[in-house]
Structure 1
Amino acid sequence: MKSFNRLILSTLCLLGLFSSFGQEANKKQLPKDYKNYFSHFREAIHLHLNKTTYFVGEEIWWTAYAYNKKTNSPSLETANLYCGLYDKNGKQIRKELFLLKDGVGQGNFKVDSTLSSGIYFIKAGTKWMKNFDEDLPFFQSITIINKPLSPRSITSSNHDLQILPEGGHIISNVENMIGIRLIDENGRGVPVKGDILNGQGNVVTSFYTNEYGVGKFKLDANPNESYKVKITLDNKKTIEKLIPKSKEKGIAMAINNILEDKLVISIRTNNETLKDILNNPFHIAVHRDGIMTLNSFNLDSVSRTIKIDKKKLLPGMNIITLFDSELIPISERLTFNYKNANIASASVKPYPGTSNDSVSIKVNTFSKKNTSMSLSVSVLPKSTVVNNTDTNIVSNFLLTPYLQLPIENSSRYFSKINRTKEYELDLILLTQGWSRYKWDSIFNKTPEIKYPFEFGISAIGRIDTKMRNGEALALIQNSINSMFFLELKDSINFTLTNLLLENGDKMKFSIKKKSGGLRRPKLNIDFQGLDYKSDSIPLFLITNHLHARTTIEQWKVTEGINLIKPKDLIKLDEVILTEEKIENKLTRKSPLIDSSFRGVKIDEKELRRSPLLTDLIARNGFRVIVNPRGRGEVLITNIKPFVLGPVRIYENDIPVLDSTQLLNIPLNQIDEVYFETDGMAADINASGGAIRIYRKEGTSLKLSSSRFAEKLVKNSFTKPKEFYRPKYTSSIDQNFTDFGIVHWEPQLLTNKKGEATLTIPDDKLPAITLFIEGIGEDGSLLSHTQEISLN
C-alpha cells in the first residue's frame, strides 16, 4: 500500500513537473510568436492638408509623411505613395502615384467644376501596408463647395451611449472601473451628468463626462443585482441603458497612469475565483510592434499591485495584456507614455527684413537631438473655419494605429501637453478596450508578404529593329558619352526597374553599332507603375466618420459667398521694366522654371570666366567634386550647409541620371543654365537644389536626334506643382478670412539648429494662424499651431 501511495505521489510530482516545463515553454514561446508576427515592420502614412474645405478653383495641397512604427523614425524603404480622392460613399474619383523621398512627399488635386458640393475623402497608402490586416491607409474627410449653400438645421437627436469596462470585463464582488462614452448624432461627445441605478431604482453612484463625452465610474457589482445607466439631457430627454451582467468568476485589471514616474497595474478578483487560481502563475506583457517585456507573478490574494518604472516603458503607446497560466489573454488595456515620446515643439515669430508686399516668418523647432526637420506649413487667416481635422502627424503615428475606434479631436492631446490632457487621454484609452491587433492572428497567423516594398516603377520593352552582330541597345542620358547598355532577353525583350521618373519625362534609346556609331531603333515600351484599377474606402471607415456629414450644415456657407474671381476677370500684374530687360536675354525659360531659379546666358563674358560647364556650376552656389580615379565620377552638392539632399540636374528638361556625363563639357556648347540653390523648386527630388542646362541648338544636334528613339514616361509619378494661390475676390473681406488661404509651404527644411524661414504674402490681415507639421531625421514628430499678430 505504501508503495502504491509513493507511486501516486511520484506520478503527481512528475505531472506537476511536466506542467511546469510546459508553462515555462509557453512563456518563452509567447515573445517569439509576438516578435515573429511583427518581423516585418509596419508602415503608417500621414497627410498634412493645407485645409479641409475647398471651393471650385482651389487646389487640395498636401504633404505626405511615411513612418516606421517599430523604430519610430521616417520610413525610408518605400518610394511609391498612392493617393486618391473619393466621394461620400467611398467610391474612387481619381487616384495618382506620388514619390516619397526619405519618407516625405508632396502633391495636390485640382478642385474642378465636376465635383459637386458635399463631403469627400482623401485616402493615401503604400502597397506594403496591404500585407497587414490591421494597417489602415490614411483617411481624412474634406468638404468641397461648388456653389453657395444655405445652412440646414439638424433635426436628428439620436445618441449613442457606450458602456466600456476597463480591461473588457465586469467581475462580480470586485471593484470594477467602467468607462462611459456618450456621442451625439454627429459623432461628437456630449458632456452630461449621469447616475447608476440598481434594480430597485436607487442611485448607486454618479458620474460626469467631459466635453468629449467620456467619463468613468467604479462599481462593486453584486451578481444578484442588475444595474443601468440613466442620463437626462439638456432637452429633458432621458437615455437609459443596462450595464452588462457581471461574471461570477474572473479577473479585473485597472491601470493608473497618473503618477509622474510609475505605471501602476491593479489586479483584482473575488474569493470564488481565487480558490481556483491560488498561486497559479499569471503574466503581464508590456508590448507594441514586436517589442515585448513579460513579467510573471502569482496571485495569492484577491488583489495585487504591480508598479513599472515609466523609463522602462516603450515611448508612446504601450499595450498591457494580462495572460493566465496557460498564456491565454484575459484582459487588455492601452496606455500612453509621454515621458519617452519623441515629440518636438516649435515657436514662430515675424522675422526682420519684411518687405512692403510680404512678411517673413522665422520658425524654430526643438527636439531631443535637435536634428534638422522637414516641415509643412499652412498659413490661414486667424478667423479661419476651414481647418477642421481631428488628427495630426503625432496622433496618426503614435496613437491611431493601435485603436479600434477613432478618437474625437485626438490632435489636442499632443499640443501644449499638460497633466490634464495626459489624464484625459488615459481616460479615453480606458474606453478603448483591446487594441487593434488580435491575439488569434498573432498566435496562429504569420503575415504573408504579397506586396514587396516599391521603389520606383518598372518598364518592359520590346525592340522591333533587328540587331546586328556586335550591336547593343543603349539608354541615352542626354549625352552620347553617358549610356547604359540594356540586357536583351531572347535578343528582343528588356526590363528596367526602380525608375524614379515622372510622367512627361523623356527616355532616349539608341543602338550602338559595332563601329561605335549610333542608329535609331524601333521599339515599344510599357511603363508599369500606377495601377488604375478602381478601389474604394471600406464602409466601416466611413461609418466611423459620420460626423463629417454635418460639416456643411454647421458652417455659414451663405448665398452671398463669392470667394474665387470669375474666369473672365483678368487683372494685369505690375510690370517692372528692368526685370523685363533681363528676362529678354533668357530665351529658354520654360514653365518648369519658376521665380526661385536664377538664369545665366552664356555669352562672351561667361566664356572668358568659365571654360567648362562644371566651372560655371561651381561659381553659382554648388560644390563640384571630381574623383580622379576610375571613371572620374562627379559629385555635385549645395554649398549652403542648411540646404540638404540631392541636387537634381536636367539637360534640355530631361533628368541627368549620371552626373559623370557633365565632365569636360565645353561651356561654348551651352546656351543657358538656370540655378535654384535653396531647395525650393517645385521638384520633389531637388531638396538640395536644381540645375537646368540647355544646349545650343544647331545642325549637329538635329542630326544626332535622328539617331534616338524617344519615349514619354507614363503611369509613373505625378509631378508636384509649385504652390499658387487662386485669385480671390478680396483678401480682406469676411469670405476670405473665413475660407481663404494665405500661403502653403509643402517642404520647409530646417538647419541643424532647427531654424527655417518662410515668406508669405502681406494681405494686410491683423493676424494669421500657422499650422505646422513635420518629421525630423531622428523620428521626432512636430505638430504646432500658433497665432501671430501682424499689426
Structure 2
Amino acid sequence: MRNLLMLTVIFLSSVVISQAQDKKDPSYTIINSYQQYFELPRETIFLHLNKSTYLVGEEIWFKGYIYDRQKNTPATKTSNIHIGIYDDKGNQVDKKLFLGFNGYTRGNIAVDSTFASGEYYIKASTNWMRNFTEDDSFVQKIRIVNKKAPQPDLGVVKYDLQLLPEGGHLIEGIENTLGFKLTDQNGFGVEIEKGALMDADGNTLLEFKANSFGMGKFAVTPQKEQSYKVVTTLFNGEKIEVPFPEVKDKGIGVSVNNQAKENVIIALRTNDLTLEDIDSKKFQLLIHKNGKYSRTTIPFKMGRKNTLISFKRENLFKGINIITLFDENGKPLLERIFFNDHNIEYPTVSVTNTAIEGDSINIKFKFNGKAKNLQNFSVSVLPEDTRSYEHRENILSAFFLKPYLKGFVENPAYYFKDIDSKKSYDLDILLLTQGWSRYDWGQIFNHSPKQLFKFKNGITLKGSLNEKDLEKYNELYIFSAGGQGSKSIELSGPQFEINNLFLKVKDTLRLSLINKKNDLVKPKLSANPVPETYTDKIGHLFKSPFYRLNNPSVPEGFLSDKVTALDEVVLKEKRKEIKDPDALGPQQAEVVDEEFIERYFYINQYIESKGYAVRTNHVRLDPDEGLVSINLKASRTVNASTQPALYVNGIVSFDYDLLFRLPSSAIEKIIVDQSGYGAGLRGGNGVIKIWLRNTPLVRSSGKSVFPYVEIPVQDGFEEHKKFYTPKYQAYTDRSFQDYGVIHWSPDVITDENGEAVIKIFNTKLNNISFFIEGMASDGSIISSSKKLQIK
C-alpha cells in the first residue's frame, strides 16, 4: 500500500539524551523539559472512609494510603498528613495532623453537634504537594445528618452535549473519530435512547449509541463545504442537538485501537493539503508517564497519508499511557490517553465467617495472587443494604486514573470493579472524551516545579537560650511528657532548632541543658513549636448531589451516647501499641515518691540496682550510637541482644535515650523485671516499664525537683484511637440497615498464607457487606466489596 507506513516500535522506558546533542534541537527541548518537570517525586493519597454518610455523634474513621507514582510503591518520605473537613463552599471547618508510617496513616474525626446537616468534603494532603501546580490532594464528598438531612434543590435539569474529536481536532477529508458525552448541569452522564449525525438538510448520515454515562464515539469523514449536526434522543423523547465542531483544512488526526490483546495500534492520518506542508519533516511521537517516556520519529512524506504504529502491551507502561505528537518545531499538536492493563494484577479476596462466639463473629479473609502475603488493608463492615457507603472513588481509580485526568469524572471506581471487556471499552471512551491530560505542556516547557516545600516528618521546635554562661553547657536535651521520644542537640549558640519531633496533641515538651558534668539543669529559654497546620480552601468543587438521596431522616434516639468497645484482632502488625495495667504478674509497680528520689536521684540508678548495666554514651564516635545502653551481663536471646524491652506509658518504645540523665522525679511509677513478664519474645532480657509524670513532683519545701522547662504542644499529631461500635437503638430496623455501622478495621495484615482474621460485633443480621481497600509493601493494590451470609 503506497500511502501507508507501518512501524513496529521497540519501547524504551526512558531514553537517555546524549550530552553532545544539539540543545537547539526541538526534541532536546521536549525531553529535557519533560524530565525536569517530573524530576521531583509525586505523592498520591487515597483515604478509605468507613462510610459516606455520617450521623452527628458518630466518628469519621479512615485509613490513608500514600503512593509514590514514579516507583509504584508506598510513599515513605512523608509522615505529616493533613486531613480536614470543608463545607459545601470549600471553606475549612476542621483540620488535623495525622502520623504517616511507611506509606500508611489512620485516624478518626468526631462528628459533633456543631455540624449542620448537609454535604461536606474531606481532604488529605501533604506539605510536599504544595510544590506542584497540579493538585494531588485527595478530596471526597461526604454527607452529615443532624436530626434530618436537607433535601437538595435539583432545579430544572439542563443538558450539555459535547463533541470531542479524538486527539483534539477534526480534519477534512480523512476518517476522524468523534467522541461525545451528554451530561446534566451537575456533570452526571445522561443516558440516551439513540443518536444521529445529520447533514444540513436533516438527512441521517449515521446513527450511534451511548453507554450508561452518556458517552460514546463514532467515525466520520467530514467535508468542509458541508454542514453537520448531532442530535440525541432521550428515553423521554426529548431531543438535544448541537452543531458540528470546526473542521480544519489541515492537520493530523489520531485513532487508538486499544481492544487487541497483544498490541496497541496508533493510527496517524492526514490529507494531501497537509502533506504539502510537512513533507520530509520529522515529527516526534512521545508516549509518556510520570517522567518516563518512549520517543518515536514519524517521517511524513508525500503520498503517505496514513501511518500505523504498533506497540506491544508488555513494553508499554502499566496503566495510563499518554500519547503526544509534536511538530518539527517541538509544538504539541495532539494528545490521546489510553489504559494498558497488561501485567496489572488485581488480587482477589474471599470472605468467610469461621466462628460465632457470643456477641462476636470471627471473619477470615483469604487473598490470592503474587502478593497475597503482603497485603495491608482496611475493611468497613456494614449492613448488606446500606445506603451510607456511596463512595465513587476506590484506591485503584485514585492511583491509576485520577492523577492523569483533568476535570470531573463520574464514578471513577466503576472502571475498576469486576473488570470485563465492556468496562475496558467504557474506560477507553472516558479517556478519549477527557481530552488532553492534566499536565499542560505550557507549564512543562516554562514552569518546572521547584522544591519550595519539604517532605515533613514531625514537628519543629525553634527557640532561644537566655543563659549568660552558655559555654558551661554541652547540649540541649528534650523529651515529651507523653513519652514520644527524646533528642539532644549540640549547642552552637543561643539560637536552636530541633526537628522531627513526633508529639501528640496536648502533649508537653520538657527541655533541659546538659552541663560539663553531664547533669541536667533547668534552662532559661523561650521556645515554641512551629505551627504545622494552616487554613486553606478547596478551590475546585463538584456540586453533584449524592445518589439515592431520598429523605434520609433518622428517628430520635436512633444513636445512643453509649458505645460498645470491641477488640480488634490482627494476625500481624508492623507497629503495635500494647497497653499495660499498673501491675503485671508477680512484679508490682514501684511508686516514685520523695523517699524514692532520696535514694535514686536518676532513674538509671534504680535500674542498675535491679541487675542491669546502664552506660551513658555522652561522647559518641558514631552519630547513630544511642545516648543510653542498658544490658544484662549475659544475653538470654538467640539474636545475642542483651537489651530489655522498654515500655513508656504503656506503649512499646525503642528509644532508650529517653532515660538519659532522667530524674526519678519525672516518673510516677516503674517496673524493672528480669523475667520479662508480659513482653513476649522481646522480654527475653527482661522488661522495663515506666509511667512518666504529668505534673512535677513537689517537695515539702514547695520547690519542684523537675530540672526542666515545660512547653505545651497545641498542634501535634492526633492520637490513634481504637474503633468502637456505636450503641444503636435496634439492629433490625430500617434505619440501622440504612445508616448503621457494624465494624471498622484499619490495619489488617495477611500472614504467610495470605490470610487474616478480624472479630466483629454480632448484630444478628443474616447478611452483611465488607468494603476492602489495601496496598501491599510492594505496591500491589486491592479493592473489593463482598457480601456474606452469616451461618
Cross-structure match for 1:203: 204
> Are the aligned partners of 1:321 and 1:332 in contact in 2 as well (CA < 8 Å)?
yes
Cross-structure match for 1:557: 552
Distance 1:630 1:775 in 2: 34
Report whether the alignment pairs 1:507 with 2:509. Answer: yes
SS in 2 for 1:431: helix
SS in 1 for 2:751: coil
Residue 343 of structure 1 deviates from its aligned partner by 3.8
User: If the length of structure 2 is used for normalisation, what is the TM-score?
Assistant: 0.81
Cross-structure match for 2:335: 332
Cross-structure match for 1:429: 431
SS in 2 for 1:714: coil
Cross-structure match for 2:447: 445
SS in 2 for 1:726: strand
Residue 196 of structure 1 deviates from its aligned partner by 1.0
Residue 695 of structure 1 deviates from its aligned partner by 7.6
**For residue 331 of structure 2, what is the amino acid of its counterpart?**
I
Distance 1:522 1:185, change over 3 A: same
Cross-structure match for 1:368: 370
SS in 2 for 1:421: helix
> Are the aligned partners of 1:162 and 1:180 in contact in 2 as well (CA < 8 Å)?
yes
Give the % identical residues.
34
Cross-structure match for 2:78: 78
SS in 2 for 1:32: helix
Cross-structure match for 2:16: none
Cross-structure match for 1:7: none
What does 1:372-451 align with in structure 2 at a 5 Å threshold? 372-451=374-453
> Are the aligned partners of 1:57 and 1:111 in contact in 2 as well (CA < 8 Å)?
yes
Distance 2:648 2:474 in 1: 24
Report whether the alignment pairs 1:455 with 2:452. Answer: no
Residue 249 of structure 1 deviates from its aligned partner by 0.8
Distance 1:674 1:343, change over 3 A: farther
Residue 278 of structure 1 deviates from its aligned partner by 2.9
Distance 1:697 1:784, change over 3 A: closer
Structure 1 stretch displaced more, 240-249 or 358-367: 358-367
Distance 1:613 1:471, change over 3 A: closer
Structure 1 stretch displaced more, 180-189 or 143-152: 143-152
SS in 1 for 2:307: strand
Cross-structure match for 1:321: 324
Residue 168 of structure 1 deviates from its aligned partner by 0.5
Report whether the alignment pairs 1:303 with 2:306. Answer: yes
Structure 1 stretch displaced more, 398-407 or 467-476: 467-476
Cross-structure match for 2:490: 487
Residue 279 of structure 1 deviates from its aligned partner by 3.6
Structure 1 stretch displaced more, 167-176 or 456-465: 456-465
Distance 1:715 1:483, change over 3 A: closer
Structure 1 stretch displaced more, 696-705 or 260-269: 696-705
Superposed CA offset, 1:188-229 (max 9, x none) = 212211111111111111111111111111111010111111
Cross-structure match for 1:530: 532
Residue 357 of structure 1 deviates from its aligned partner by 0.9
One of 677, 690, 693 as aligned partner of 1:693: 690
> Are the aligned partners of 1:675 and 1:691 in contact in 2 as well (CA < 8 Å)?
no
> Are the aligned partners of 1:374 and 1:748 in contact in 2 as well (CA < 8 Å)?
yes
SS in 2 for 1:426: helix
One of 578, 583, 587 as aligned partner of 1:601: 583
Distance 2:476 2:608 in 1: 25
Residue 454 of structure 1 deviates from its aligned partner by 1.1
What does 1:55-204 align with in structure 2 at a 5 Å threshold? 55-149=55-149, 154-192=154-192, 193-204=194-205
Distance 1:529 1:138 in 2: 22
Distance 1:232 1:328 in 2: 39
Distance 2:390 2:512 in 1: 54
What does 1:535-554 align with in structure 2 at a 5 Å threshold? 535-538=536-539, 541-542=540-541, 545-548=542-545, 550-551=546-547, 554=549
SS in 2 for 1:209: coil
Distance 2:251 2:411 in 1: 35
Distance 2:651 2:476 in 1: 16
SS in 2 for 1:443: helix
**For residue 415 of structure 2, what is the amino acid of its counterpart?**
Y
Distance 2:752 2:307 in 1: 48
Distance 1:572 1:348 in 2: 24
Aligned length: 709
> Are the aligned partners of 2:487 and 2:657 in contact in 1 as well (CA < 8 Å)?
no
Residue 389 of structure 1 deviates from its aligned partner by 1.2
> Are the aligned partners of 1:472 and 1:485 in contact in 2 as well (CA < 8 Å)?
no
**For residue 74 of structure 2, what is the amino acid of its counterpart?**
P
Q: Which structure 2 residue ranges, 5 or more long, are not aligned?
A: 1-20, 567-575, 590-605, 613-621, 638-643
Structure 1 stretch displaced more, 471-480 or 295-304: 471-480
> Are the aligned partners of 2:577 and 2:652 in contact in 1 as well (CA < 8 Å)?
no
Superposed CA offset, 1:354-404 (max 9, x none) = 312111111223443445122111111100011111111111111101101
SS in 2 for 1:267: strand
SS in 2 for 1:354: strand
Cross-structure match for 1:624: none
Superposed CA offset, 1:624-670 (max 9, x none) = xxx9x99785799xx9xxxxxxx996524799562366799999952
> Are the aligned partners of 1:59 and 1:108 in contact in 2 as well (CA < 8 Å)?
yes
Distance 1:471 1:676 in 2: 38
**For residue 434 of structure 2, what is the amino acid of its counterpart?**
Q
Superposed CA offset, 1:576-617 (max 9, x none) = xxxxxxxxxxxxxxxxxx99745472575689xxx9899999
SS in 2 for 1:413: helix
**For residue 655 of structure 2, what is the amino acid of its counterpart?**
D
Distance 1:340 1:495 in 2: 48
Structure 1 stretch displaced more, 717-726 or 88-97: 717-726
Q: Which structure 1 residue ranges, 5 or more long, are not aligned?
A: 1-20, 575-593, 618-626, 640-646, 680-689
Cross-structure match for 1:498: 500
Distance 2:108 2:452 in 1: 29
**For residue 124 of structure 1, what is the amino acid of its counterpart?**
A
SS in 1 for 2:32: helix
Distance 1:634 1:235, change over 3 A: farther
Cross-structure match for 2:787: 787
Cross-structure match for 2:655: 658
SS in 1 for 2:379: strand
Superposed CA offset, 1:36-90 (max 9, x none) = 2111111111111111101100111111111111111111111111111110000
Residue 414 of structure 1 deviates from its aligned partner by 1.5
Cross-structure match for 2:271: 270
> Are the aligned partners of 1:163 and 1:181 in contact in 2 as well (CA < 8 Å)?
yes
Superposed CA offset, 1:288-344 (max 9, x none) = 111010011323412121110001101111001122222321111000111133543
Distance 1:658 1:140, change over 3 A: same
Distance 1:499 1:376 in 2: 28
> Are the aligned partners of 1:651 and 1:694 in contact in 2 as well (CA < 8 Å)?
yes
> Are the aligned partners of 1:42 and 1:135 in contact in 2 as well (CA < 8 Å)?
no
Distance 1:414 1:430, change over 3 A: same
Structure 1 stretch displaced more, 309-318 or 275-284: 275-284
What does 1:769-784 align with in structure 2 at a 5 Å threshold? 769-784=769-784
Residue 254 of structure 1 deviates from its aligned partner by 0.5
Distance 1:729 1:336 in 2: 48
SS in 2 for 1:113: coil
> Are the aligned partners of 2:476 and 2:511 in contact in 1 as well (CA < 8 Å)?
yes
Q: Could you say which structure has the higher helix fraction?
A: 1
User: If the length of structure 1 is used for normalisation, what is the TM-score?
Assistant: 0.81
SS in 2 for 1:276: helix
SS in 2 for 1:554: coil
